[in-house]
Amino acid sequence: MTDAELYALIQSDPQAVAAYNAGDDDGCAARCSVIAPALQQPVPANRLRLLLAQRGRLAAIKRVADNTAAPEPPYDACATLMTLLDAGDAINLGDPAVSASSGVLVASNLLDADDVAAITALAFVPQTITQQQVGAAREWHRVTGGADNGVT
């Protein structure tokens, strides 16, 4: 998050503004950590595999992916997912091909909306805002016009 983005986040929340105006950068940072949007990151294959297994979905997906003699319609999506899981690399759930595959799996009743929500939740992590970042945003605002408008 840039200094400008953090400053805008602070200004969007009355509690963050109150802490900021009181010079309580620790309190402001704590509040910003609560209200900051989560960041999307690739999901480790082992975490996704475990989630699918816990939800009882992995075996069916694997069965479809292994059925090369008479591939069912979702074969490509299942085979791709199993290839990604077996490779062990982190999987970018924001990739359009991955998103399209999840739609195929839902349409084929191999996943449901709750499964997709649980999988998507793996990709988002909360942001932690520090006192130093709040101080940097304060300095950014001071240098870019805060002193001129009487706000620091």
Residue type, 137: A
Distances (CA, A) of 85 to 33, 49, 61, 79, 88: 32, 7, 11, 10, 5
Query: Model's pTM, two decimal places?
Result: 0.72
pLDDT tens sequence across 38-51: 999 999 999 999 99
Hey, is 56 helix, strand or coil?
coil
pLDDT tens column, 108-136: 999 999 999 999 999 999 999 999 999 99
Q: Where are the domains of the chain?
A: 3-38+126-146, 40-125
- Torsion-angle region of 109 (φ positive above 0: left; ψ -120 to 50: alpha; else: beta): left
